[in-house]
Amino acid sequence: MSYVRVVDEFKRYQMGENTIVANNGITFEIEKGDFAVILGPSGAGKSTVLNILGGMDTPDEGQIWIDGHNIAEDTTKQLTKYRRDDVGFVFQFYNLVPNLTAKENVELATQISPNALDVDEVLESVGLSHRVDNFPAQLSGGEQQRVAIARALAKNPKLLLCDEPTGALDFETGKSILKLLQNTAKETGTTVIVITHNSAIAPMADRVIYINDAKVRETVLNPRPRSVDEIEW
Ligand SMILES: Nc1ncnc2c1ncn2[C@@H]1O[C@H](COP(=O)(O)OP(=O)(O)OP(=O)(O)O)[C@@H](O)[C@H]1O
């Protein structure tokens, strides 16, 4: 069985008398260590999928298998543990704690995690050993995103979930962040899932899941993903 397997997942939101079907029978699989991209236009249902994969939301129907366990059947308490122990999140706007240094931001995550990695080593792996004592406001956008990635990775998560991680960055900085995410999957075997509307990112992924209008339209496997250096947008 694949490491991540979403089977016939539905999510509906009630807005007054209207029902919005955000995910309409979503099915896909992702292998361990994949750098996977979920691609689709605004409103397609990508964030809903990511929130469900991350245990921040629950599906109305369907199965969400992560490493052999169906989290759709988890209790609230089990989901809290899953979010804390097994999932690293990276957001578009970094979401760092402003009055903590880079290192302290990462330490904060490791304090709640039973599988935590060495904080200095993780900061070094994202290229930030020289900036550990700086506060977020003293760092560039790309550096702040590296801290956010280090914070997520320091938990040694099963899944690294990234919501438009380059959305607030310029082209070159965005590419360096994607390269870091691609290398992370390749070198550490962490399963990395990025959601984006930027189709230029597709060729660098092992697997691309195209979502439109609440459904998976296509899944494409890249036997030879392109290096981030070769990508232009
Ligand atoms: N909490 C909510 N309550 C009501 N409707 C919601 C909620 N969350 C999402 N939706 C609706 O579900 C649909 C899918 O939204 P979702 O955020 O998953 O799309 P998306 O592909 O991530 O879009 P974007 O790229 O703009 O973030 C949209 O029509 C959205 O308005």
* Average pLDDT, integer, range 29-33: 97
Cα–ligand 1 centroid distance for 44 (angstroms): 7
Enter the DSSP assignment of 229: G
pLDDT in tens, 45-78: 999 999 999 999 999 999 999 999 999 999 999 9
Domain holding 122, by residue range, is 4-230
Distance CA 10, CA 20 (A): 11
Supply the ipTM of this predicted assembly: 0.96
Question: What confidence tier does 202 reach under pLDDT thresholds 50, 70, 90?
Answer: very high
Closest atom, ligand 1, to C-alpha of 164: 25
Both structure tokens of 83 = 């979010």
In this prediction, what percent of the chain has a pLDDT beyond 90? 86
Tell me the pLDDT band of 197, cut-offs 50, 70 and 90: very high
Position 83 scores a pLDDT of 95
Q: For residue 188, is pLDDT > 80?
A: yes
Distance of alpha carbon 24 from alpha carbon 8, whole angstroms: 8
Cα(125) to ligand 1 centroid in Å equals 34
Average pLDDT, the chain: 94
Return the pLDDT at 169.
87
Does position 191 have pLDDT exceeding 90, yes or no?
yes
Residue 147 · residue 97 · CB < 8 Å: no
The CATH number assigned to the domain holding 48 equals 3.40.50.300
Atom 12 of ligand 1 has which residue's CA nearest to it?
22
How far, CA to CA in Å, does 193 sit from each of 51, 105, 207, 232? 12, 22, 10, 20
Q: Is the pLDDT of residue 233 over 80?
A: no
Atom of ligand 1 nearest to the CA of 15: 4
How far is it, in rounded angstroms, from Cα 182 to Cα 216? 23
- Domains in the chain, number: 1
Task: Give the residue, out of 19, 24, 46, with the most ligand 1 atoms within 8 A of its beta carbon, to mutate for a pocket test.
Answer: 46
pLDDT at 168: 87
Global confidence as pTM: 0.95
Q: Is 54 exposed, middle or buried (0-12, 13-18, 19+ CB in 10 A)?
A: buried
What is the three-class DSSP state of 211? strand
- Does the pLDDT value for residue 230 go beyond 90? no
Q: What is the mean pLDDT of residues 90-119?
A: 94
Give residue 172's pLDDT. 86
More confident residue, 227 or 206: 206
Residue 232: pLDDT over 80: no
pLDDT given at position 170: 87
